Each structure stands twice: as structure tokens, then as C-alpha cells.
Amino acid sequence: MTGTPDRTDRSQALIVISSASQLPLAEPAGESLSIGWFLVELAAVLERFADTHEFILATPDGRVPTLDINGLALAMEGGKDLGRDTASITVQQGVGKSGPAQLRDKHPELVARRESELALLRRHLGRMPVSQNLPNTDAEAASIRDEVVATLDGLPEQRWHSIADVIARHRSLSDAFSLADLDFMYAPGGHAPMVDFHDNPVMGELLHALRENHVPIGLICHAPVAMTSAKYRLGEDGSTLVDEDHAFRGARVTTVPKYGEIGMLTFGYPKVPGKMTRLPYYVDVALKEAGYDVSLTLNPSAVEVVWDEEHSLLTGNGPQSVDAQAQKLAEIVEARSGRSGRTPR
């Protein structure tokens, strides 16, 4: 199994991205939003490991993922300063009436980071669709959508494995691929994971197989919803087994808080103009109900990264935390590089 065939001599890491492109809403009933995954929540990890690792790419169903245009808003590039940059750009767009070009002139450091991230996307992930602009998509981000689409359309499409394929090849004694050979698994957020990471048996089996093979699991923002799938295991015959008292239960995690999500649904890009907008569930609530110890920050834009060593689980609460999470992941990989004991399969 390969992600980028010219790097087979390198260490391997599994990148799992949601392939969902529509997010059903509870309110307005029957409506959905064009969504995808957030590049900003993966790029720091790609950059950190680009020179040392081969990235194996997977989605739950093997379909090519959709890049969310909303994740390319300049404020999302602020890292730990996301809250400050969001406030500044909001004022400049509103009271200051700054247009897209003016905003780019005022924030060259954010533009440079975004361009670097898009270069990583083109290099490692290849061609993929981009979500549609929503009525409340940030105007500057909306203004670059056509350009982003054009640059991605000209690229070759990478091979995206399904999680079921990853599991099958790991289990096969005749296949050289083994999860035990991975240095880590990492999954970015965006709203897309709420659709196909949640309550998904193949995701549950992957999580347990990674844990049993001592592979650190990294999840950020909405991606920790994958842990609601840990109650599932898949039998060799394809049967689905359910165990509410599974090995991950009680693990410490962080994610986007409900009050931060409602703020976005009230004022941000997911808002349906003129209507109350609500999701079918909230990730932090779902994780608590599934038996996890969920750590949340009072300030939704504050940095929070949680490493639960017992469960080999590293979670972050949003794009503001990706730099800290990438750094912690690098430390974990380095600390484990000399360890043995990766014998389970």
C-alpha cells in the first residue's frame, strides 16, 4: 500500500480525511450545507513530517475528499492568534469596508501561510473538489475559490484507500502492509467528520487496530467525533460487534465546544440567512454521552491540546491548536521511535 510511491523508503503515516461533502441540518429541517475538510488543520502536520514520511491517504469510503473553502479564510490561518485575527478582520471588513485585495495587503503573513498550505495540498493530496461558497462564506475566501479550483483541477488525482481496504490489508498475512509499521494516524476536522466519522463501524475497527498496534492517533476540531465509533469492532467475517465498555471508554479528549459551534451557526459561515440554523448533534455532547472525559475551553478560540498516553490519543480543539498539536505529535513520534513491541497485527 502506498500514498506517494516515490517515498517507499520513508517512515509511514496514515492520513484519514472525511469524504463527506454535505452536512444535514436539524434546522432548517430538510436542508444541508456544502462542506468539507479544513486544510489548515492538516497542513502543519504535513509540513512537519513531509521530509521524513510517506503519507498513506484514506477516507472512510475511499472517495476523494472535498476541501472546504471556509477553512481558507484568512482568520483561520492565525494559529494561536485566531481569536485576535478574527476580530480584526471582522472589523476591517465591516466598519472599515475592506475588500478582499485590501485584506490581503493588510495581512501578508496570513496570506503567506495559506499559500504555503495550498502548496502542501497540491504536493501531497492532489486533485479534489472544493465546497461551494455559502451565503455567509467569508468574502475574501469566496473570492479565491475559482483560483483554488483551477489549480487543483490541473493536478493528478491521488489514490485514496477506503478504511475497509486498510483494515483488510492489515489483517492479510500475505500483504506487506501492517498498521504496526505506522508512526501515527492523523485526521483533520471541518464539519465533514460529523457525517462519516460518527457512529461508523469501520472507523471503530481502525481506531482499535491502531491502539493495539501502539500507533498514536491524532484528531483535531470535529474529527474527535470518530471516538463515538469506538464501540464497534468488525469480525473477520464482516460482522459488526458492539461493546459499550470498550478499551477507549473514559479517554481524555478535547474538541470544538457546543457554545462555539452555536456561535458559528448564529453568526458564521454555516448560518442559513434568515433562519435559525442548528446541527443534528454537537460533537462535545456526543463524546460525553459516549463516555469520554471531554476538556473544553471557556474561550472557543483558546488553544487546547490533550495527550492521553494510556489510550495513545492526541486531540486538539480547532485550527488555533494545530501548531501546538503538530509539535506534540512530533515529540510523541520521536519519543517512540526507539521503542519496540509493535508486534500485534
Cβ 120 vs Cβ 95: under 8 Å: no
C-alpha 25: how far from its chain's center? 20
Answer yes or no: is 85 within a domain: no
Domain count along the chain: 1
What is the structure's pLDDT at 5? 37
What is the structure's pLDDT at 187? 98
What is the structure's pLDDT at 252? 98
For residues 48 and 28, give the distance between their C-alpha atoms in angstroms, rounded to a whole number: 41
Answer yes or no: is 279 within a domain: yes
Q: Range of 295's domain?
A: 5-59+158-333
Answer yes or no: is 259 within a domain: yes
3 state SS of 226: helix
Nearest to 57 by CA among 6, 11, 126, 105: 126
What is the structure's pLDDT at 136? 96
Cβ 125 vs Cβ 158: under 8 Å: yes
What is the structure's pLDDT at 345? 53
What is the structure's pLDDT at 8? 56
Answer yes or no: is 343 within a domain: no
Answer yes or no: is 82 within a domain: no
What is the structure's pLDDT at 339? 57
- The radius of gyration of the chain from alpha carbons, rounded to an integer in Å, stands at 19
Answer yes or no: is 293 within a domain: yes
Answer yes or no: is 325 within a domain: yes
Write out pLDDT tens, residues 283-315: 999 999 999 999 999 999 999 999 999 999 999
For residues 215 and 15, give the distance between their C-alpha atoms in angstroms, rounded to a whole number: 13
Cβ 35 vs Cβ 190: under 8 Å: yes
Cβ 200 vs Cβ 228: under 8 Å: no
Write out pLDDT tens, residues 5-43: 344 578 999 999 999 999 999 999 999 999 999 999 999
Residues of the chain scoring pLDDT < 50? 4-7, 340-341
Answer yes or no: is 73 within a domain: no
CATH number at residue 302: 3.40.50.880
